[in-house]
Amino acid sequence: MRSVTYSMSVSLDGYIVGPDGGFDWTAPGEEVFRSWIDEIRQVGVHLLGRRLYETMLYWETADQDPSLDDSQLEWAALWKPLPKVVFSTTLSEVQGNARLACGGLAEEIERLRAGPGEGDIAIGGATLAAEAAASGLIDEYRVRVYPVLVGGGIPFFPHRERRVDLALVETRTYAPGVVHLRYRVTR
C-alpha cells in the first residue's frame, strides 16, 4: 500500500512560516536541496493546498530561467511532470500536471491508494496536512529542522486532541545545522 508522507521545512520552534508569512530562513544549501531531490524521486503524486500550490507554480516554468544551477534544473525536471492534486475552494483551474481535487481529502487518498500507481502520496501544506493528521491518514512525517526561532506563524504539527506515537526511521544532519528527521506512525 502506498504511504502518505508529510514533509516540510520547519523552524526549531515548530513553524513552517513565520508570523509575517515568510520562510526565507529555509533557503537550502546544496546538500539540503539534494535531499529534497532524492525525496521527490520517491513520490508518485503530490497533494497540495492552495497556498503551497501557488508557491510551487514557479517550478512549472523554472526550466526556462537561465540563472538556475544544475540541481535546480534537476528539481524542476522532476517536479514539472509529477502528478499533483490541488485542494482549494477558491481556485477554478490549475496549471501543469495538476488537477483540482474532486472530493474530500480522505476520499482522494483512498482512491489513490486503491488505484494504479507507485511511489509515495506526499502531502504539502500545513492546513491540508492537519486535516490528514486529524483523520489518521499520515503514515510518515519528514521534518527538516532549521536552526532558527521565528516566534510564531503556521505550525508544522497541527494542534489536535489525540496522541500519535512515532518511531524514528532516520536522521541526517546537514550544514549549517539543518537536521532531517523521518518518523513513521506506529498504529
pTM: 0.91
Q: What is the pLDDT of residues 105-119, one digit of tens each?
A: 999 999 999 988 899
pLDDT score of 99 more than 80: yes
Q: Are residues 187 and 164 in contact, defined by beta-carbon separation less than 8 angstroms?
A: no
Instruction: Please state, rounded to an integer, the average pLDDT across all residues of the chain.
Output: 93
Long-range contacts of 106-114 (CB under 8 A, 24+ apart): 106/135, 106/137, 108/47, 109/4, 109/47, 109/137, 112/2, 112/45, 112/85, 113/1, 113/2
User: Is the pLDDT reported for residue 30 higher than 90?
Assistant: no
Distance separating alpha carbons of residues 126 and 105, to the nearest angstrom = 13
Specify the CATH number for the domain of residue 116.
3.40.430.10
Domain carrying residue 59: 4-185
Cell numbers 533557503 correspond to what residue?
A: 27
pLDDT digits (tens, 9 = 90+) for 171-184: 999 988 999 999 99
Average pLDDT over every residue of 60-75: 93
Q: Is 10 helix (H, G, I), strand (E, B) or coil?
A: strand
| Number of separate domains in the chain | 1
